[in-house]
Structures are given as C-alpha cells and as structure tokens.
Chain A
Amino acid sequence: MEYVAYALVIFVILTGIATALLRDVLAAIIVFAAYSLGMALLYTLLLAPDVGLTEAVIGAGVTTILLLLTIVKTVRPGGERTFERLDPRAALACGALAVVFGLTLPDLPAVGDPNSPILSYDAVTGHYLTQSYAETGVENTVTAVLAAYRGFDTFGEATVVFAAGVAVLVVLRREVFT
C-alpha cells in the first residue's frame, strides 16, 4: 500500500516538472493529462473516490480538451530542444518555496489519527455526521455540507463561473459557444 503511494507521488512530481519544462505546449498538455491520471489514482488510494473521479473527469478530460481548444491559434516552437532552458533564479525560488511547504508536512496529523482536530472536536464533526440527514434530507454528508449548509457559498461560486462565461462571450462578440 505505501509502496504504491510512494511510486505514485514520484510519478506525479515527475509529470509536474515535465509539464513545466516542456517547450512544446501540446506535449505539455499531454503530459499534464498523465499528471491528472496519477493524481486521481492517488486520491482514490487515499479513499476519496469521488474526488478522484472529479479529478479524472475535470483534469484529464475537460481540461485537456479546453487547453487544446485554447492553443489552436498558436504555433509550434521550432528547434530541436525538448525542454525549456531553466532560469536558475526562478528554479531556486521554486525550490525554496517547495522546501518551505514541505517543512509544514510533519505537523499534519496522520491519516485516520483519532487525535486530529477534525475528529477530536466531536461537537462539530459529530453534529454534521448525525444530523445532516435529518436537517437537509441529503444522504451524503459531504454533499449536504456543500449544497445545503454552505449553499449560498456554492451559489456564489456558480454565479462567478456564469459571469466568467458571459464575459468570454462578450469579449469574443459571440452569442453561443461553438
């Protein structure tokens, strides 16, 4: 189990670096699809299959097609080099940022740790787990929180996405997406 997870993490990191460094945008999009597949597999391994499913559909499916549509008007870079030349200062900044984020990892509670904040404050977690069906009538607790308890927030997000779509249509002077 751990070995599968370790190998997957290595795969995801490699695809992430390759996506950033590839010169050809189309190649980067293809490798990014592989990154999404690895990420979705990792989510599924951590027993979050719904998140993994969403990552696969959005990351590997929809995003790939949207990115392909985006680069239609661009041209392929010439030359023989596969990778972009690395800017040492930018690489150093990225590496430092990764180290800083990595330093916070040991402070995270282990998966399933009973002393983790989310499980020890039972007044909050327990309330949603036991009462969400009675209060909202939704069987899945995550869906209940997303669609009922923070319904206005989700509504706001949907409004933002809709506004963005309308704005794109206005900029392109079109009436429908084709």
Chain B
Amino acid sequence: MVNDILLGAAAVFVVLVIVVLYRAVRGPTMQDRVLAVNVIGTNTVVILALLSAALDVPYFLDIALVYALLNFLMAVAISKFTVERGGVM
C-alpha cells in the first residue's frame, strides 16, 4: 500500500519533469533553460529517493547524492559559460 503511494508519487514527479521540459526547450532565454534543467535534476533526485523507499533498495540513495552534486556542477558550468562566453570552470 505504502509502496504503491510512493511509486505513484514518483510517476507524478516524472510527469512534472515532462512539464518542466517545455520550459527547457521553449526558453526563451538561456537562464530559463538552465533553471529548468536544474529543476529536472532536483526532481530526478526526489524520484530516486522515492524509488529507493518504494523498491527497498537503499543504494539508490547513493546515486541520488551523486546526482545532486552533478546537478549543481552542471548549473554552475552552464551559467558561467553564458556569462563569460568560454569560461566553464
């Protein structure tokens, strides 16, 4: 029962990710896109945590942690790139 609710919540989050994808594709500015991808990444972390609880596989949480770090790195890299064309790190 609880597992079904958690899985259902994960499915809803994936649908939300698809909705946010509209902003990432449509833009219109690059900041919109960076923020949208950041939201998608954060949702990915949430989905992974929900799946970890629902399927009872604790090591999914490790992957969620790596995602959270990567997500931050990606947002910083793209933001820096848009500000000073060329500087990534």
Contact = CB atoms under 8 A, between A and B. Distances in A.
Interface of A: 1, 3-4, 7-8, 10-11, 14-15, 18, 22, 26-27, 29-31, 33-34, 37-38, 40-41, 44-45, 47, 49, 52-53, 56-57, 60-61, 64-65, 68-69, 72, 82
A14 B28 CA distance: 18
B25 A56 contact: no
Interface of B: 7-8, 10-11, 14-15, 17-18, 21, 24-28, 30, 33-34, 36-37, 40-41, 44, 47-48, 51, 55, 57, 59-60, 63, 66-67, 70-71, 73-74, 77-78, 81-82, 85-86, 88-89
A-B pairs with the 6 shortest C-beta distances? A7-B14, A3-B11, A72-B86, A18-B25, A30-B33, A4-B11
Contact of B48 (A26, A30, A44): A44
Interface centre among A26, A37, A82 (most CB of B within 10 A): A37
29 contacts: A1-B7, A3-B11, A4-B14, A7-B18, A8-B14, A18-B24, A18-B25, A30-B34, A31-B37, A34-B36, A37-B44, A37-B67, A40-B67, A41-B47, A41-B48, A44-B48, A44-B51, A44-B63, A47-B57, A49-B57, A53-B63, A53-B66, A56-B67, A60-B41, A61-B70, A64-B78, A68-B77, A72-B85, A82-B25
A30 B71 CA distance: 12
A11 B18 CA distance: 6
Contacts of B21: 11, 14-15, 18, 31, 34
A70 to B, nearest CB: 11
A8 B40 CA distance: 12
A98 B51 CA distance: 30
Of A7, A26, A38, most B-chain CB atoms within 10 Å: A7
Nearest to A73: B86
